[in-house]
């Protein structure tokens, strides 16, 4: 592999906006008085609450049991008493939520013990540990990790890639984690590699984080199977199929999964959580997130207990500057706008981004001038202008014939559009309509 940064075709260069937090050491957020732990924090089936109102719980104690294969158990992030179990809003929808009042003692549950050396465990045992630790993808999508690590026997996996691209503007959580705790990430990577029985591990990091590249190279210099690969700083480099293409030059088939080309991709944050689950036995009860944006007083990188309301965290970061315009869970390109700051932090909360009123304004669209910028940059070679036009005319089937369903929703087209047209927004509508029409027929 040559020394030049690897990359893929298409993509955009949004401003980074990372300056305000990229050099800030990760700090631990205060333990909240009350945590709100939703039973649905991942892609897949929701969990069932296995505690009752009035029960005492400790940190790391399982409170939600996964009943399906594509699901992941959920644990308490504080010690204290279960006050209520009810439906509440979460950053991604609405779910049964266990409300636990913290007793402030932060006592750790007796089940939390080191799982021993990875070398001494079988691959089945490793996957079981990861599953029981409730680990899901921490990059944002929240896919249960043990499912990714259990490919069907006919899929030959030969490569593991850790995603340290962090291509979303503003976010620096993964960056700081790599700089501060590289050993734990390497440990997690080795567990993943053993779980899928491969001998080749890559860590892809965007080249705008030279310090992270250096630290990770240093930490992995004695691991001859692990290679740090600088990748070009370009959005959406951190999309797993783009990253696979950048590093291995393989193309995941349209509609397929990374395992179809023999690759498993995990976020560096996920690897860190896995490393931690083996070393200390602590399941996924907290995560690092970047709290930032033009509308926040003191941007920070914080370790946040799952279930902490956004409001507590925003207060800890000095509160809002003026009136906030938009509050986003995740980054500005793919994050989800929130309607309230009462929602809790979940496993997929990679950041809380607050935009001021000016930045949050939704621009008025001008007519499409067919400049073709959206066609030039689409990482999956779509023609967003045509799909969007058809979607706005409610011609969804025709939009489908322009491969609307292949859209990865990275938002690059909407970003570059000089006419500020709602390209991705209308493509999403087309996708939803096509899928629901298919179900009907």
Binding residues: 368, 371, 374, 378, 407, 410, 413, 417
What does the alpha-carbon distance between residue 39 and residue 253 come to, in Å, rounded to a whole number? 33
* Residue 298, Cβ density class (10 Å: 0-12 exposed, 13-18 middle, ≥19 buried): middle
**Could you say whether residue 80 binds another protein (CB under 8 A)?**
no
**Could you say whether residue 262 binds another protein (CB under 8 A)?**
no
Q: Are 57 and 76 in contact (CB under 8 A)?
A: yes
For another protein, the binding residues in 200-259 under the rule CB under 8 A are 241, 245, 251-256
C-alpha to C-alpha distances, 11 to 232, 237, 412, nearest whole angstrom: 11, 8, 7
**Could you say whether residue 435 binds another protein (CB under 8 A)?**
no
CB of 206 to another protein, least distance (A): 18
CB of 322 to another protein, least distance (A): 10
Pick 210 or 253: Cβ nearer another protein? 253
Binding string to another protein for residues 379 to 408, with x set by CB under 8 A, is what? Answer: xxxxx-x----------------xx--x--
For another protein, which residue of 324, 344, 348, 400 counts as binding (CB under 8 A)? 324
44: CB partners within 8 A, 6+ apart: 68, 70, 71, 72, 143, 144, 147
CB atoms within 10 A of CB 347: 26
Among 238, 232, 133, 148, CA closest to 193: 148
Helices 173-180 and 182-195: angle between axes, nearest 10 degrees: 100
**Could you say whether residue 428 binds another protein (CB under 8 A)?**
yes
Binding string to another protein for residues 132 to 171, with x set by CB under 8 A, is what? Answer: -------------------------------------x--
Query: And the tokens for 143?
Result: 């896919």
Place of tokens 């897949």: 44
For another protein, which residue of 92, 163, 233, 414 counts as binding (CB under 8 A)? 414
For another protein, which residue of 66, 271, 334, 434 counts as binding (CB under 8 A)? 334
What does the alpha-carbon distance between residue 94 and residue 106 come to, in Å, rounded to a whole number? 28
In this structure, are strands 300-305 and 27-28 parallel, antiparallel, or unpaired? parallel
**Could you say whether residue 296 binds another protein (CB under 8 A)?**
no
Residues in binding site for [4Fe-4S] cluster: 368, 371, 374, 378, 407, 410, 413, 417
Beginning with the edge strand found earlier in the chain, give each strand of the sheet holding 48-49 in spatial order. Answer: 48-49, 62-65, 74-75
**Could you say whether residue 298 binds another protein (CB under 8 A)?**
no
For another protein, which residue of 216, 259, 424, 434 counts as binding (CB under 8 A)? 424
For another protein, which residue of 368, 392, 395, 435 counts as binding (CB under 8 A)? 368
Residues binding another protein: number (CB under 8 A): 66
**Could you say whether residue 184 binds another protein (CB under 8 A)?**
no
Query: And the tokens for 230?
Result: 């600088």
For another protein, the binding residues in 98-117 under the rule CB under 8 A are none
Q: Are 74 and 319 in contact (CB under 8 A)?
A: no
**Could you say whether residue 363 binds another protein (CB under 8 A)?**
yes
Which 8-state DSSP code applies to residue 296?
B
Among 97, 95, 149, 105, CA closest to 127: 149
List residues binding another protein (CB under 8 A). Answer: 9, 12, 14, 169, 241, 245, 251-256, 323-328, 332-340, 353, 355, 359-363, 366-373, 375-376, 379-383, 385, 402-403, 406, 409, 411-412, 414-420, 424-425, 428
């Amino acid at each position: 592999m040559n020394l030049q940064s690897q990359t893929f075709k298409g993509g955009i260069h949004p401003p980074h906006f990372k300056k305000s937090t990229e050099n800030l050491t990760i700090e631990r957020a205060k333990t909240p008085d009350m945590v709100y732990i939703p039973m649905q924090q991942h892609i897949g089936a929701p969990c069932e609450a296995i505690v009752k109102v009035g029960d005492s719980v400790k940190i790391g104690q399982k409170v939600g049991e996964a009943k399906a294969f594509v699901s992941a158990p959920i644990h308490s992030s504080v010690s204290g008493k279960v006050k209520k179990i009810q439906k509440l809003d979460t950053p991604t929808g609405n779910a049964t939520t266990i409300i636990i009042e913290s007793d402030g003692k932060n006592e750790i549950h007796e089940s939390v013990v080191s799982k021993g050396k990875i070398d001494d465990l079988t691959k089945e045992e490793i996957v079981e540990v990861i599953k029981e630790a409730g680990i899901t993808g921490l990059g944002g999508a929240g896919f249960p990790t043990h499912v990714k690590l259990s490919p069907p026997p006919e899929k030959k996996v030969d490569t593991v890639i850790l995603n340290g691209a962090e291509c979303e503007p503003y976010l620096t959580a993964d960056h700081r984690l790599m700089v501060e705790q590289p050993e734990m990430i390497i440990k997690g990577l080795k567990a993943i590699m053993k779980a899928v029985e491969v001998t080749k591990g890559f860590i892809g990091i965007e080249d705008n984080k030279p310090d992270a590249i250096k630290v990770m190279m240093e930490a992995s210099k004695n691991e001859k199977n692990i290679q740090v690969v600088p990748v070009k700083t370009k959005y959406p480099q951190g999309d797993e199929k783009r990253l696979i293409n950048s590093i291995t030059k393989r193309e995941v088939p349209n509609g397929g999964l990374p395992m179809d080309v023999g690759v498993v991709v995990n976020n560096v944050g996920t690897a860190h959580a896995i490393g931690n689950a083996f070393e200390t036995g602590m399941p996924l009860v907290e995560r690092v997130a970047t709290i930032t944006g033009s509308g926040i007083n003191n941007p920070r990188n914080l370790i946040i207990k799952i279930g902490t309301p956004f409001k507590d965290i925003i207060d800890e970061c000095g509160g809002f500057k003026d009136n906030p315009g938009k509050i986003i869970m995740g980054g500005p390109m793919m994050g989800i706008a929130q309607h309230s700051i009462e929602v809790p932090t979940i496993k997929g909360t990679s950041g809380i981004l607050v935009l001021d009123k000016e930045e949050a304004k939704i621009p008025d669209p001008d007519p499409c001038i067919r400049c073709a910028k959206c066609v030039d940059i689409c990482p999956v070679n779509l023609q967003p202008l045509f799909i969007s036009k058809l979607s706005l005319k409610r011609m969804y089937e025709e939009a489908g014939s322009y491969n609307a369903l292949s859209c990865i929703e990275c938002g690059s087209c909407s970003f570059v559009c000089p006419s500020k047209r709602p390209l991705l927004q209308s493509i999403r509508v087309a996708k939803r309509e096509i899928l629901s029409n298919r179900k009907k027929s």
